[in-house]
Homo-oligomer: A and B are copies of this chain.
């Protein structure tokens, strides 16, 4: 923090102009007819004294913060924290830092957060959008700000996004339950019209309609506490005693649901089959191990960063920003929890 050298100091010490030093440092020396001799001299010197340009000055001048905002629904959720981990290194390697935040799926909070990020002039956004912030997203897009949505998106907006095929992967999962002999399949989901949730619901409905089986749906409000979820699922099971399997459309619904199943002393998969969305250590270690719809977290992360960095370069080049709409497929990882119900005696 002491004796920080500025570009002016460098210029003085080398008996050159600030301009020259700056041009060399930014790789614009050749195109500005700076001699190789001078280039080498500058490069050698800045390396020797380990000159570090002031980010603030640079940002002020060129308007770039070299920061990407990562707006997750909840950074402590393993799905989001693993993505956070996976996007980190490549962002760093490209000279970007990532600031994170948790939206809690709350539109008002998200709006506030976006505002603070705008104030900071972050260069790009990676967002799990909440319902009701279409305006803000649209606004960012209109201003040609590099941006990617993930986990869900707004059908009406032409933003880039990375999602999975929720309908198909859920349909596959439900079909798997049916193949295993389950016939009264309950669907526990969030009370939400977001794309990921409606996609999963649709997959459920389609699979059941194709087989002529009855539907049992439990919708739980966003932001419910775990104990609320547990109770809701217990009631759901009490009201519909015929249910022989459950599909949980998110990881934490799955965790809460498993607790409910336990409290009701139902055995998995005999009394009740179980499939949950999103894989995690909990499901893998559970006894019995839980069948999950596993999102390709690495691929999602990779596509997100790739696309964002690409947009950042296009923006730099003042070109048109191409917004990738990417839909990946999720894998059904079959484990014991869906291996068929007890034969009636």
| Chain A interface residues (CB < 8 Å from chain B) | 1-2, 52-57, 59-60, 63, 65, 67, 74-76, 78, 81-82, 84-86, 88, 92, 97-102, 113, 116, 118-121, 143-145, 255, 258-259, 280-282, 285-287
Contacts and interface: CB of A to CB of B under 8 A. Distances in A.
Given A97-B99, A97-B120, A74 B85 contact: yes
B76 A97 contact: no
Nearest to A290: B285
A43 B55 CA distance: 31
Nearest to A226: B281
Given A1-B145, A76-B84, A286-B287, A100 B101 contact: no
A257 to B, nearest CB: 11
Contacts of A60: 54, 56-57, 59-60
A23 B204 CA distance: 61
B102 A143 contact: no
Contacts of A57: 60
A120 B81 CA distance: 24
A75 B67 contact: no
A259 B281 CA distance: 11
Contacts of A100: 84, 88, 98-100
Given A76-B85, A121-B55, A99 B98 contact: yes
Contact of A76 (B78, B102, B287): B78
A282 B258 CA distance: 12
A188 to B, nearest CB: 17
Contacts of A118: 1, 52
B65 A56 contact: yes
